[in-house]
Amino acid sequence: MKKLLITAWLLTCLAATKAQDIAPYGALPTKAQLEWQDLENYMFIVFGPNTFTDKEWGDGKEDPKVFNPTQLDARQWARTAKEAGMKAIIFVAKHHDGFVLYPSKYSNHTVRESAWKDGKGDVMREIADACKVYGLKFGVYLSPWDRNHPDYGTPYYNQVYANMLNEVYTAYGPVFEQWFDGANGEGPNGKKQQYDWEFYNQTVYHNQPGTVIFSDIGPGCRWVGNEDGIAGKTNWSTLNTKGCNPGSKPADILNKGEEDGAAWVPAESDVSIRPGWFYSPSTDTSLKSVNKLMDIYYGSVGRNSNLLLSVPPDRRGLIPAQDSLRLMEFRRMREQVFKKNLALKAKVTASSSRNNLKPASLVDGEVATYWASPDTALTPVIDLNFKKAVTFNRLLLQEYIALGQRVKSFKVEVLDNGQYKEIANETTIGHKRILLLPDTKTKAVRITITGAKACPVLSEVQLFNAPKS
């Protein structure tokens, strides 16, 4: 029996080795970037003096004592994120006003000078610990712009800012994403800092090499070019960044990426559940509807991007009940849409397959398994056939991006009265692509890759029949 088990194990290893002969194509994601992409949907906590002054951008002149939440509960934030189906929180530790939500040694405009907990509190410590309790990854937004610090606008400020990064990365545990905002300056006659981005990046990597760094141009992930949460219908995870600084790439390029870009810099789509980033009593009745949030989800996660959704705490230091309820409704809607994968019932064939990578891997519900065509077959056809007709209106596709992003274009057809009828013609896939389609009843679905940079490598094809909103 032992010999049989060893033989079976060896055969499995040989088969896996044979399947792994696919040459990677182009820029590739790191292990940290792959893990980041799998998070897909996480929360932005935007909180500070602006919450109490009803401003979006503070001027740094506010009295720090204005920051005095009466019931601050970071575990409520983390619990809400967890129950909303999110996997991480990015916390705004310092916005442009320069107010630091932990007692930094390098600023006199912090929670230490506030009225909250008589200056003995540390919001960052509370949320970092809360994320651990609820199994969430913890990320940090630390604005380089500082409208309060006296050294801002001088060469020395770069060291001050790096010192703050060192505080964050040595005292608050693992940080999965560092969010660098490129905002700079105080008007035509105000201070303007020459940011040393390379110094900042190296400070982060020195402390935690696996952190994914966000900015206009990465290097870990990029801004999607708008604050609406919507990525381009064509969205490459690659970008040309050599010689570029944040702010140098046009928004339309950030929105769709650059085909054959030399660096792997996937998109992150940021948006708020409210009209503004910070809480304001005036927006209590202006939350985005569930349908709007679903549109954003399809336009971000469904277009090869991650979704960063701001859910700002109120002046108590709590996520308001209506915001929490909307998040639960949003999760319930997603669960209803993606509850039943109709493709699991399909018999899958392909016009050509590579070695022992079987088309059945496309409908096994496992993103770690994949199918690929031979190197010479750049336009393969995948057929899903059903014994009984199925009705669907959502199609989900995933590439195995560990080997690069390859698909340039594809079309979808369905069997209708003995003939194949085209119902969609799209461009990129990437980590995940979700198509919204009309209700379609058929016994056969055909997916044709119409353009590829190298042999397509796909991990999933899924079909769903979303309920009417």
Q: Contact at 8 Å (CB) between 110 and 102?
A: yes
Encoding tokens for residue 411?
């079309």
Q: Which residues pair with 45 in a beta bridge?
A: 91
Residues 409 and 294 grouped into a single domain: no
Give the pLDDT confidence of 384-393 residue by residue, as tens digits.
999 999 999 9
Residue after which a domain boundary falls, among 286, 310, 337: 337
Encoding tokens for residue 327?
């998040």
In the predicted model, is pLDDT for residue 115 greater than 70? yes
Domain count, the chain: 2
What pLDDT score was predicted for residue 177?
98
In the predicted model, is pLDDT for residue 451 greater than 90? yes
**Residue 424 is assigned to a structural domain of this protein:** yes
Question: Picking from 29-33, 161-165, 168-172, 184-188, which range would have the lowest pLDDT averaged per residue?
Answer: 184-188
**Residue 91 is assigned to a structural domain of this protein:** yes
Give the pLDDT confidence of 313-369 residue by residue, as tens digits.
999 999 999 999 999 999 999 999 999 999 999 999 999 999 889 999 999 999 999
Residues 407 and 290 grouped into a single domain: no
Report how far residue 410's alpha carbon sits from residue 427's, in angstroms, rounded to the nearest whole number: 6
Domain that holds residue 71: 31-337
Encoding tokens for residue 205?
């990597």
**Residue 17 is assigned to a structural domain of this protein:** no
Amino acid at 428: T
Angle between the N-to-C axes of helices 123-133 and 74-83, in degrees from 0 to 180, rounded to the nearest 10: 40
User: Average pLDDT, stretch 169-175?
Assistant: 98
pLDDT-based confidence at residue 16 (cuts at 50, 70, 90): very low
What pLDDT score was predicted for residue 3?
52
Residue after which a domain boundary falls, among 307, 337, 367: 337
Residues 48 and 152 grouped into a single domain: yes
Report how far residue 89's alpha carbon sits from residue 310's, in angstroms, rounded to the nearest whole number: 10
| Torsion angle (degrees, nearest 10) of CA 173, 175, 181, 185 | 20
Encoding tokens for residue 71?
């019931």
Residues 113 and 217 grouped into a single domain: yes
**Residue 333 is assigned to a structural domain of this protein:** yes
pLDDT-based confidence at residue 11 (cuts at 50, 70, 90): very low
Find all residues with CB under 8 Å of 59, minimum gap 6, and list them. 97, 147
Residues 148 and 286 grouped into a single domain: yes
**Residue 26 is assigned to a structural domain of this protein:** no
Residues 179 and 129 grouped into a single domain: yes
In the predicted model, is pLDDT for residue 212 greater than 70? yes
| Torsion angle (degrees, nearest 10) of CA 318, 319, 320, 325 | -140
What pLDDT score was predicted for residue 192?
82
What are the respective helix, strand and coil percentages of the chain, to the nearest 5?
30, 25, 45
User: Average pLDDT, stretch 263-278?
Assistant: 98
Q: Would you list the DSSP string of 406-420?
A: -EEEEEEEEEETTEE
Proportion of the chain above pLDDT 90, given as a percent = 90
**Residue 1 is assigned to a structural domain of this protein:** no
User: Average pLDDT, stretch 435-445?
Assistant: 98
What pLDDT score was predicted for residue 189?
66
Residues 267 and 353 grouped into a single domain: no
In the predicted model, is pLDDT for residue 103 greater than 70? yes
CATH number at residue 117: 3.20.20.80
Residues 249 and 364 grouped into a single domain: no
pLDDT-based confidence at residue 187 (cuts at 50, 70, 90): low
Encoding tokens for residue 165?
């990064």
Report how far residue 93's alpha carbon sits from residue 83's, in angstroms, rounded to the nearest whole number: 23
Residues 186 and 230 grouped into a single domain: yes
Residues 162 and 250 grouped into a single domain: yes
Residue after which a domain boundary falls, among 317, 337, 357: 337
In the predicted model, is pLDDT for residue 437 greater than 60? yes
**Residue 167 is assigned to a structural domain of this protein:** yes
User: Average pLDDT, stretch 163-184?
Assistant: 94
pLDDT-based confidence at residue 20 (cuts at 50, 70, 90): low
Cβ–Cβ contacts within 10 Å for residue 137, how many? 19
In the predicted model, is pLDDT for residue 415 greater than 50? yes
Give the pLDDT confidence of 231-240 residue by residue, as tens digits.
999 999 999 9
In the predicted model, is pLDDT for residue 19 greater than 60? no
Residues 241 and 355 grouped into a single domain: no
Residue 313, classed as helix, strand or coil, is coil
pLDDT-based confidence at residue 446 (cuts at 50, 70, 90): very high
Amino acid at 158: N
Residues 275 and 396 grouped into a single domain: no
Query: Which region holds residue 187: left if phi is over 0, alpha if psi is between -120 and 50, else beta?
Result: left
Encoding tokens for residue 328?
């639960």
Exposed (0-12), middle (13-18) or buried (19+): which is 234, by Cβ within 10 Å?
middle
Report how far residue 298's alpha carbon sits from residue 35's, in angstroms, rounded to the nearest whole number: 20
Angle between the N-to-C axes of helices 157-171 and 197-207, in degrees from 0 to 180, rounded to the nearest 10: 20
CATH number at residue 424: 2.60.120.260
**Residue 10 is assigned to a structural domain of this protein:** no
Altogether, the residues listed in the chain come to a count of 469
Q: Would you list the DSSP string of 91-134?
A: EEEE-TT--BSS--TT-SSBGGGSSGGGGT--HHHHHHHHHHHT
User: Average pLDDT, stretch 37-42?
Assistant: 98
Encoding tokens for residue 80?
């809400």
